[in-house]
Amino acid sequence: AQSILGVQCEVQKQLKAFVTLERFERIYSSSIAGCRQVKKNKNFASGGSIFGKGVKFAMKDGRVATDIISVANEDGRRIAAILNNAHYLENLHFTIDGVDTHYFIKQGPSEGDLSILGLSGGRRTLENGVNVTVSQINTVLSGRTRRYTDIQLQYGALCLNTRYGTTLDEEKARVLELARQRAVTQAWSREQQRLRDGEEGIRSWTEGEKQQVLNTGRVQGYDGYFVIS
């Protein structure tokens, strides 16, 4: 039997990480090597990164950590600063109008990050093509005035939303409610289209209810709720 050193297998792993051209297949898949090969699917992004070059992005225990190196441009540094130390709402990302949408919250005041962006409200497009939208909302809850700040970063089919002035549980509830509202709107839209096409609806509507669906897009007294299946 041929003896295989652990270092040989480690070298093979490193080669697999860096050598991906087909003509180098012999180097890291040869049976002579004696190391077990694990096939992995290779995933490639369809476009450039929202950060650009020189920005490292990682998550640990649901919190974002970013780091930059010298080649990072100013816009990439700005975006990295906005997301650094933000909490990610895991398993609560949605595709909205074809855009992959993710949500974060950030503790503390928003003024520092708004200063980095040079924007206290409205919208601007950074030089790297990222669209930035800032919204400030005041609301009264239990007799207290609450102020929220939303920073939305959109680049191609990716959208990152960061909210300040809230808690993780509050933001989860808000995002789920927005998702419920979208689902209800889409369900009514599909029902309206069925009736327009002369098809049967999802329930036996009266003639008056059918006219409500056709004219207003919904029937009064009906709403949508979460169903766990």
Q: Which two tokens stand for residue 51?
A: 């950060």
Q: What's the predicted TM-score (pTM) here?
A: 0.73
pLDDT at 1 over 90: no
Q: Do residue 27 and residue 101 come from a single domain?
A: no
pLDDT at 9 over 90: no
Give the pLDDT confidence of 119-132 residue by residue, as tens digits: 999 999 999 999 99
Q: Give residue 121's domain range.
A: 55-166
Please, what's the b/e burial string for 38-74 (b: 16 or more CB within 10 A of its CB; e: otherwise)?
eeeeeeeeeeeebbbeebeeeeeeeebebebeeebbe
Q: Do residue 162 and residue 172 come from a single domain?
A: no
Q: Do residue 124 and residue 137 come from a single domain?
A: yes
Give the pLDDT confidence of 171-194 residue by residue, as tens digits: 999 999 999 999 999 999 999 999
DSSP characters over 93-142: -EEETTEEEEEEEE-S-SHHHHHHHT-SSEEEE-TTS-EEEEEEEEEEET
Q: Do residue 28 and residue 106 come from a single domain?
A: no
Q: Do residue 38 and residue 120 come from a single domain?
A: no
Q: Do residue 90 and residue 119 come from a single domain?
A: yes
